């Protein structure tokens, strides 16, 4: 098990005041909060910061952690000394079962056991289990056709004796056709088990689309940028366009300019009120590589009296 340097994680020195620790934590929490941050490792960093703060914000835990000594280096192989926490009394404040799932083995080995006995069954008789939440990443195609996705889920629950136990599950979940970004699928009874014969909580899956190289999704609508040749836009043409539901023949009206938006009604995400597919025209210029390419452009220049900068007054 690796030693964790909680002071280093928060970027404070070992003599930092409780206020300094709090400020450092708040700053990092804002930076790495998974709802806010775009950093790819935001969730891991946020958990790490949360774990460090969990220990250092609590003078009891901080003192116990400090007496492990200042000579440990982050990443060093660590085993808690026997009875390392002798004489320390902990009052588990602000520690929830849900949070424990994300904490490291290092944290668990130091503070896990002590908390477990207090976080155990609360003796309130029958109680419904808590809901659990997870995100599920799907392809846009899945929303058009429906799919079955395999999910690996990990969470901590308390066993009969109130000890936290990591539970790993592989669920195969049917993704119904027509789902949209941000919608939830409720799997009744798949959350935390109930206490004292109470019903289990629900598992709620939030749908998120993987970014697609060609399509952009806005609610029910889907947007596609379609490259067209200048003559297709100028003269009009019928061209092949891909859609998530399969390729279609798309009529481009004569005299279309770059950025023109064509609507394919009902070809967005299907549902009782299906979305639309918007095709945005993107003009692509053919390269002038050969002599005859150049001659063709030259002819065009001679034939058209065209100033693209007319609107700029030059």
> CA dihedral defined by 225, 229, 235, 239, rounded to 10 degrees?
-60
3-state class of 45 per DSSP? helix
End-to-end CA distance of the chain: 70
The answer to the question of residue 166 lying near other proteins (CB under 8 A) is: yes
Binding mask 124-143 for other proteins (x = CB under 8 A): ------xx-x----------
Number of residues counted as binding other proteins (CB under 8 A): 49
Q: Positive or negative CA dihedral for 120, 121, 122, 123?
A: negative
Give the nearest distance from C-beta 170 to other proteins in angstroms. Answer: 5
The contacts of residue 145 (CB under 8 Å, 6+ apart) are 177
The number of residues in the chain equals 314
Q: Which of 220, 292, 223 is nearest to 259 (CA)?
A: 223
Closest CB 288 distance from other proteins, rounded Å? 21
Asked if 225 is part of the footprint of other proteins (rule: CB under 8 A), the reply reads yes
Residue from 179, 226, 252, 279 touching other proteins (CB under 8 A): that is: 179
The answer to whether 259 and 281 are in contact (CB under 8 A) is yes
C-alpha–C-alpha distance, residues 280 and 224, integer Å: 6
Q: Which stretch binds other proteins (CB under 8 A): 61-69, 114-122, 159-167, 243-251?
A: 159-167
Among 122, 210, 273, 301, binds other proteins (CB under 8 A): 273
Q: How far is the CB of 53 from other proteins (least distance, A)?
A: 10
What is the DSSP-derived secondary structure letter of residue 131?
Answer: P
Beta bridge pairs of residue 206: 135, 184
Q: Binding of other proteins at residue 260 (CB under 8 A)? A: no
Nearest distance, CB of residue 304 and other proteins, angstroms:
28
Q: Which residues bind other proteins (CB under 8 A)?
A: 26, 29-30, 33, 35-36, 38, 46, 50, 130-131, 133, 148, 165-174, 176, 178-180, 182-188, 190, 201-206, 211, 213, 216, 218, 223, 225, 272-273
């Amino acid at each position: 098990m690796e030693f964790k340097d909680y002071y280093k994680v928060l970027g404070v020195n070992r003599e930092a005041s409780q206020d300094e620790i709090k400020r450092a934590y708040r700053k990092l929490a804002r930076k790495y909060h998974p709802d806010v941050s775009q950093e790819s490792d935001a969730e891991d960093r946020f958990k790490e910061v949360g774990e460090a703060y969990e220990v250092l914000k609590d003078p009891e835990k901080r003192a116990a952690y400090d007496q492990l000594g200042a000579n440990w280096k982050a990443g060093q192989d660590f085993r808690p000394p026997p009875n390392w926490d002798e004489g320390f009394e902990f009052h588990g404040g602000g520690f929830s079962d849900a949070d424990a799932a994300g904490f490291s083995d290092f944290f668990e080995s130091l503070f896990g056991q002590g908390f477990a006995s207090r976080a155990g069954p609360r003796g309130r008789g029958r109680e419904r289990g808590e809901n659990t939440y997870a995100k599920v990443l799907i392809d846009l195609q899945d929303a058009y056709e429906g799919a079955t996705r395999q999910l690996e889920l990990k969470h901590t629950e308390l066993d009969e004796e109130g000890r936290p136990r990591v539970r790993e599950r592989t669920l195969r979940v049917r993704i119904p056709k027509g789902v949209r970004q941000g919608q939830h699928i409720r799997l009744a009874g798949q959350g935390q088990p109930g206490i004292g014969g109470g019903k289990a909580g629900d598992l709620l899956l939030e749908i998120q689309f993987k970014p697609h190289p060609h399509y952009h999704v806005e609610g029910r609508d889907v947007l596609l940028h379609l490259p067209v040749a200048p003559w297709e836009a100028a003269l009009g043409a019928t061209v092949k366009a891909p859609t998530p539901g399969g390729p279609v023949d798309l009529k481009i009206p004569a005299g279309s300019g770059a950025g023109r938006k064509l609507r394919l009604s009902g070809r967005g995400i299907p549902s009782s009120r299906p979305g639309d597919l918007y095709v945005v025209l993107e003009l692509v210029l053919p390269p002038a590589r050969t002599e005859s390419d150049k001659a063709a452009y030259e002819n065009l220049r001679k034939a058209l009296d065209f100033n693209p900068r007319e609107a700029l007054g030059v």
